[in-house]
Amino acid sequence: MLAEKYPQEVKKILAKYPPEQKRSAVMPLLYLAQRESGYVTKEALKDIAAMLEITSTEVVSIIGFYTLFHDEKAGKYRMQVCTDLPCALRGADKFLEELCGNLGVKVGGTTADGMVTVEAVMCLAACDKAPMFQLQSADGIEYHENMTVDRTMELVEALRKSKA
């Protein structure tokens, strides 16, 4: 399916790796598969595994490890709040709890309007600037540091207005 939909791109990706190391193409192929819908479908996952001659479990483990790959549909924006220990010590857990309360979602949930999915992630490399989150969208990734719930809600409202 992926090779049929994007034949030139798949060919170009695979050409970068020796045939005996083609499994190394897993991340670029996942990125390609996710580009259109914002997540990797089960069909694309199986297709990538077959193409690279690895198991679906190996592909899923890559998706599960990296915060930039997703295997489920989400809101237009993914707000990924870092909650590892250093960030938690700077209030990330409380921030996440209050943010979810204000948005009316649980961690991992999507707002009723489908705009924002809130996720907890580990290590976004800004421990000294927590609470912080990365905001993923089709336009790319933005990092927001030293955040408060009020400032985050202002950002969400601005996103809702600009994309309405």
Q: pTM of the full predicted structure?
A: 0.79
Q: How confident is the model at residue 164 (pLDDT cuts 50, 70, 90)?
A: low
Indicate the helix (H) or strand (E) that contains 119.
strand 116-121
Please give the distance of CA 110 from its chain centroid, rounded to a whole number: 13
Classify domain 2-65 by CATH architecture: Orthogonal Bundle (1.10)
CA–CA distances in Å: residue 2 to residues 91, 98, 102, 130, 152: 42, 40, 39, 38, 37
Q: For the domain made up of 77-162, give the CATH fold.
A: Glutaredoxin (3.40.30)
Domain extent listing, the chain: 2-65, 77-162
How confident is the model over 17-48, as pLDDT tens digits?
Answer: 999 999 999 999 999 998 877 899 999 999 99
Domains 2-65 and 77-162 share a fold: no
